[in-house]
Structure 1
Amino acid sequence: MNYVLGIFYVNRLDLLYKALYSVQAYWPHVIVIDNSWNKELRSAVAIPKGVTVYEPPIPLSHSQSQNMLHYWGKEQNCDFVMYMHSDAEAESGTPELFLKRLTCLMEDGTKWGAANTYFDTLAAFSMKAIQSVGPWDQNLPMYYSDIDWFRRMRLCHYELIETLLPVKHHNDGASTVKSDVYLLHVHEVTFPLYQDYYIRKWGGGMGQETFSLAFDRFPLNPVPDYLADR
């Protein structure tokens, strides 16, 4: 079983450390994308040995980071890729139990697209589903991007598995935005725009969608042969 786990970092180094040290079983597979504006992880002293830090040329959006994770999954011939919020902290035993559940899903032939613990605080995405569903929509840099991808996943007939394994989400989530006045302001200004885009794309808000194709006309996967060998 092969996988990579991505954590996308912007701020709150203290919470990143909590996240990393709660998933020690995953360390050889962990890649932290440093999306901080000042390359903060260059001077971080407590990043565990074995954990990889990737520094993109410029900070990536959430959707760009997810798509980067897709390409690493393909490059490393992974069965699935995993994602963890930088402000999440897995309870003792959760990482190991989650891997066991994912192993069972692959062995019993379930057509699963994604598996959650406590919502998507720690989640896994099947590489088979990723190739069918395609990349995350970069017109939705952060909010609504997950809702969009999961809708496309379901329309491609892949199942979302809820394991309900315990993972703590500090500050009730969104710590990145809550910890930066500028990011909070940007969120308040842009959130309605992303909400409107989603409604236009799917003919309704979350739970009220009416389109089965993007904008009622375009394919669910916008990239033909996504991640296919060239």
Structure 2
Amino acid sequence: MKYLVGIPYVNRIDLLHRAIHSVPVYWPHTVVLDNSPARELRQASWLQQVVTVVEPLVPLTFVQSMNAFQRMAAEREADAVFYMHNDAEAHPGTPEKFLEVLTSLQAAGRKWGIALTNFDALAAYNMEAVRAAGPWDTVFSSYFADIDYHRRLRLAGYEEVFTGLPVEHHGSSTRKSDSKVNFMVDVTWPLYERYYELKWGGKMAEERYHTPFNRPL
């Protein structure tokens, strides 16, 4: 199976180090997007020796990063695009077992859209499903964007697969490690929450619309 692993980076290079070294089998297929304000990864020679580091012209939001990974995966004619949090750490054996699960799903012809471990600490999106669902909604910045995208995958008829494979997630370290980022999340949270409600006719698990904004297909 052909795949690309995408990791967007903003801060906490110590946790990125742990994330990268927990998935050595993925190194030849891994792209790290340096979205740090000071372009910290320019100095991370250890990282550039094992994975591909891409520095966008300007730091990207989470959603923009996910769309960039989708484009890269499409250019490589990949079967799946993975997403890994830069503050996640796969347990020994998990990366290999995750690949085995995905290969089995493909071989069985399952119509899967996303495969999860510890939720999306390490996740994989079927590129067939990505083409059906389209890009991530860039009105969102980060929070609520995943809820929106996963709903779109389900509405397109693609299955969520919960593997239960162990991945440690040092939760929300990006926002906790930067007061400005944390402030922006707190300020914009209700705005994105309201946008989600307007788009789908209700909060998560209370949605009434089957198309965005209840528009006809």
Flag whether TM exceeds 0.5 (same fold).
Answer: yes
| Percent identity for Structure 1 against Structure 2 | 50
Unmatched 5+ residue regions in structure 1? 220-230
The corresponding residue for 2:173 is: 175
CA contact (8 A) 1:81 1:124 kept: yes
Partner of 2:123: 123
Distance 1:111 1:176, change over 3 A: same
Distance in 1 between the 2:65 and 2:195 partners?
20
Mapped pair 1:150 → 2:150? yes
Secondary structure, aligned partner of 2:114? strand
Counterpart Cα distance in 2 of 1:190 and 1:74: 31
Q: Report matched runs for 1:189-208 at 5 Å.
A: 189-208=187-206
Contiguous gaps of at least 5 residues in structure 2 = none
Cα deviation, residue 117, structure 1: 0.7
- Runs of 4 or more, structure 1, over 4 Å off, are none
Letter in 2 for 1:175: S
Higher helix fraction: Structure 1 or Structure 2?
2
Match of 1:12 in 2: 12
What does 1:159-174 correspond to in 2, within 5 Å? 159-170=159-170, 173-174=171-172
Asked if the contact 1:17–1:46 (Cα under 8 Å) also holds between the matched residues in 2, the reply is no
State the TM-score, normalizing by the size of structure 2: 0.98
Q: Distance between the aligned counterparts of 1:60 and 1:132, measured in 2?
A: 24
What's the CA shift for 1:45?
3.4
- Which residue in the other structure is 1:75 paired with? 75
- 2:104 maps to 104
Name the SS for the 1:89 alignment partner. strand
Distance (Å, rounded) in 1 between the aligned partners of 2:97 and 2:125? 16
Query: Whole-Å Cα distance in 2 between the matches of residues 218 and 17 of structure 1?
Result: 47
Distance in 2 (CA, whole Å) between partners of 1:128 and 1:8 is 22
Q: Aligned equivalents of 2:49 and 2:24: distance in 1?
A: 11
Query: How big is each residue's C-alpha offset from its partner over 1:15-69, in whole Å with a ceiling of 9 and x where there is no partner?
Result: 0000000000000000000000111100113316230000000001111100001
Query: Match for 2:135: what amino acid?
Result: P
> Secondary structure at 2:63's aligned position in 1?
helix
Whole-angstrom CA distance in 2 between matches of 1:18 and 1:182: 24
Q: C-alpha separation between the residues in 1 aligned to 2:175 and 2:44?
A: 21
Q: For this pair of structures, how many residues does the alignment match? A: 217
C-alpha separation in 1, matches of 2:112 and 2:176? 33
Q: TM-score, structure 1 length as denominator? A: 0.93
1:52 is aligned to: 52
How far apart are residue 14 of structure 1 and its match? 0.1
C-alpha separation in 2, matches of 1:120 and 1:111: 19
